[in-house]
Amino acid sequence: MSAYLNAQPLLEVCGLTKVFGQLKACDTIDLIIAKGEIHALLGENGAGKSTLVKMLFGALQPLEGEIRWKDKPVVISQPAMARRLGIGMVFQHFSLFDSLTAAENIALSLDKSLPLAEIARRAREIGQAYGLPIDPDAHVGDLSVGERQRIEIVRCLLQEPDLIILDEPTSVLTPQEADRLFATLERLRAEGKSILYISHRLEEVKRLCDRATVLRHGKVVGHCDPRKETAASLARMMVGNDIGIVARKPARATETASDILFEINALSQKPRGPFSTALKNVSLAVRAGEVVGIAGVAGNGQSEFFEAVSGEVLQAEPSAVRIRGQAAGRLGITQRRLMGAAFVPEERLGHGAVPALSLSDNLFLSRYSTDKKAFLRGGILKRIAQNALQIATKRIVERMDVRKSADSPPASALSGGNLQKFIIGRELDRTPSVLVVNQPTWGVDAGAAAHIRQALVDLARSGSAILVISQDLDELFEISDRIAVMNHGMLSEPMPIEDVTLEKLGLLMGGITGNAQKIEVADAH
Ligand SMILES: Nc1ncnc2c1ncn2[C@@H]1O[C@H](COP(=O)(O)OP(=O)(O)OP(=O)(O)O)[C@@H](O)[C@H]1O
């Protein structure tokens, strides 16, 4: 038995329960976190991981159960209380203001006020000590995702926590940034700090974590030493059965222009604000039957590209975007959808769905103008075809296995991964000829991710053109027929999947083109 298991528990959770309506999101959970361990919290989407850690951080209150901290029962009524006890949290969604500096952002989160110069000094010191270099005077909006995350972690470490909760910390990092983060976490562990680590990336859990607790449907279904498991056995424990592998028949080998369903021609766009990236002469053609992947480190123009191709930002030149042969550059998103295209943005809450509206209302909002016949009834005075809307919502929920706590809950009440499944399902349900999707499986568990990827490949093979923007290189390898790389607003020539290697992608992601002799996977920052 490892030494840390003999160590006194730092945190003990006994019978912790949280109920939303009829749903037990956490059902009598027991968990012990020892001093000096990295403890993984695993579970499929909606298993109750976020609910549990929100109770530990004082953002939600349990209905029943007890939390013991350093051997004493505690009631954690709010995050400030958690911080005072020594519990810090780094959230999955960054909570920094773009227009403020790193030091100003940190100042906002501190419970006691300190002079800005003092905060900057301490942040710099902690950053250096833990291998997380930051510039306290830099504006957050100018920083890469990896740099922003360093600020979040430094901000957490400034409070000198004994337990650090990390919710999916690597989903937005390059492999190199993730390595750096692991080194920091190992160092914290060596100093006797404890870490509760939520991740859907099972390989990194195996590499980093000492122990894992697995949740399913709100209950603890097992504990294990992840180093002794395989990624497949961990996934099986989470989901309860084996995860399918995406079946990918080769795409039809056609070169005829008529097969091009989606085309971007010399698309250039000036930066739309101080924190936006210019697009430089981007061209790409996606054919019927294929999946084209766009790899790249976040912040290299992917969001601007998505906005331009989806019609959120219009182009001066009509033929900059062509959908099924028709010029669409000056058309808005609804008109592009009417031409048979569908778009799934990266941000699911607020962009992909309206948080306070029910799933069926969200479905209606996105489809009433493109599917009038299906969802509107009556003559001039239109009314919503509630029955058809409910049937469509149910169909999507069943097809994508969306788990939820009520019949038609507000979008904000779904776990992150389940909302993602719903949004993707909503677009797949239209069987679009062209589908552009940004980060399709961000925060989605292994089983659901395989389901979504298979659905994208199947849609392509049924004759649609699919464009996937993703930071997850494994995902792109699994589903793409060709892969291009976006770097500093430029898009590389797409390579057939047979010719793509991780090294080539790494070099292109770092902005190195041509035949570099000395291969060193580039860091894009
Ligand atoms: N505010 C809320 N109101 C109603 N139901 C909720 C609320 N928050 C979460 N739930 C439900 O509780 C369950 C657990 O959600 P939770 O966010 O804890 O899952 P998770 O394991 O973190 O999932 P993911 O991996 O997708 O983030 C889900 O079924 C979710 O729909």
Are 170 and 276 within one domain? Answer: no
Q: Within a domain: residue 363? A: yes
Q: Within a domain: residue 424? A: yes
Are 75 and 217 within one domain? Answer: yes
Does 251 sit in the ligand 1 pocket, CB within 6 Å? Answer: no
For the chain, helix, strand, coil in percent to 5 are: 35, 25, 40
Tokens of 332: 């808005």
Boundaries of domain holding 414: 257-509
Nearest CA owner, ligand 1 atom 3:
413
Phi, psi angle pair for 319, to nearest 5°: -85, 10
Does 25 sit in the ligand 1 pocket, CB within 6 Å? Answer: yes
Are 264 and 176 within one domain? Answer: no
Q: State CA 478 to chain mean position distance.
A: 18
Q: Within a domain: residue 245? A: no
Do the beta carbons of residue 17 and residue 28 sit within 8 Å?
yes
Of 239, 271, 299, the position where a domain reaches its end is 239
Please state the domain count of the chain: 2
Are 418 and 284 within one domain? Answer: yes
Of 239, 269, 287, the position where a domain reaches its end is 239
Digit-by-digit pLDDT tens for the chain (525 residues) are 344 455 679 999 999 999 998 889 999 999 999 999 999 999 988 899 999 999 999 999 999 999 999 999 999 999 999 999 999 998 766 678 888 999 999 998 887 788 999 999 999 999 888 888 889 999 887 777 778 888 988 999 998 999 999 988 876 666 677 788 899 999 999 999 999 999 888 888 999 999 999 999 899 999 999 999 988 888 888 877 666 667 766 665 554 555 999 999 999 999 877 667 899 999 999 999 999 999 987 778 898 999 999 999 999 999 999 999 999 999 999 999 999 999 998 877 767 788 888 898 888 888 777 777 777 777 666 777 788 888 999 999 999 989 887 777 898 888 888 898 999 999 999 999 999 999 898 878 888 888 899 999 999 999 999 999 998 888 999 999 999 999 889 999 999 999 998 878 877 876 665 443 333 333 323
Q: Over the Cα atoms of the chain, what is R_g?
A: 24
Q: How far apart are CA 291 and CA 288, in angstroms?
A: 9
Nearest CA owner, ligand 1 atom 8:
413
Are 185 and 328 within one domain? Answer: no
Q: How far apart are CA 353 and CA 298, in angstroms?
A: 22
Of 204, 239, 274, the position where a domain reaches its end is 239
Q: Within a domain: residue 231? A: yes
Are 321 and 218 within one domain? Answer: no
Q: Within a domain: residue 371? A: yes
ipTM over 0.90? The verdict is: yes
Does 194 sit in the ligand 1 pocket, CB within 6 Å? Answer: no
Are 173 and 226 within one domain? Answer: yes
| Cross-strand pairs, 442 | none
- Report the nearest atom of ligand 1 relative to the CA of 200: 25
Query: For residue 520, what pLDDT is reported?
Result: 34
- Report the nearest atom of ligand 1 relative to the CA of 43: 21
Does 293 sit in the ligand 1 pocket, CB within 6 Å? Answer: no
Q: Within a domain: residue 93? A: yes
> 108 CB contacts (<8 Å, ≥6 apart)?
97, 100
Are 82 and 190 within one domain? Answer: yes
Count of other CB atoms within 10 angstroms of residue 493: 11
Are 228 and 322 within one domain? Answer: no
Residue from 29, 414, 421 whose mutation best tests the ligand 1 pocket (most atoms within 8 A of CB): 414
Are 157 and 11 within one domain? Answer: yes
Q: Within a domain: residue 252? A: no
Query: For residue 512, what pLDDT is reported?
Result: 62
Query: For residue 380, what pLDDT is reported?
Result: 67
Ligand 1 centroid from CA 23, angstroms: 10
Ligand 1 centroid from CA 49, angstroms: 8
CATH number at residue 112: 3.40.50.300
Query: For residue 525, what pLDDT is reported?
Result: 31
Query: For residue 376, what pLDDT is reported?
Result: 76
| Cross-strand pairs, 211 | 39
Are 381 and 327 within one domain? Answer: yes
Tell me the whole-structure pTM to 2 decimals.
Answer: 0.74
Are 369 and 436 within one domain? Answer: yes
DSSP state string for 2-21: -HHHHSPEEEEEEEEEEEET
Q: Within a domain: residue 246? A: no
Does 47 sit in the ligand 1 pocket, CB within 6 Å? Answer: yes
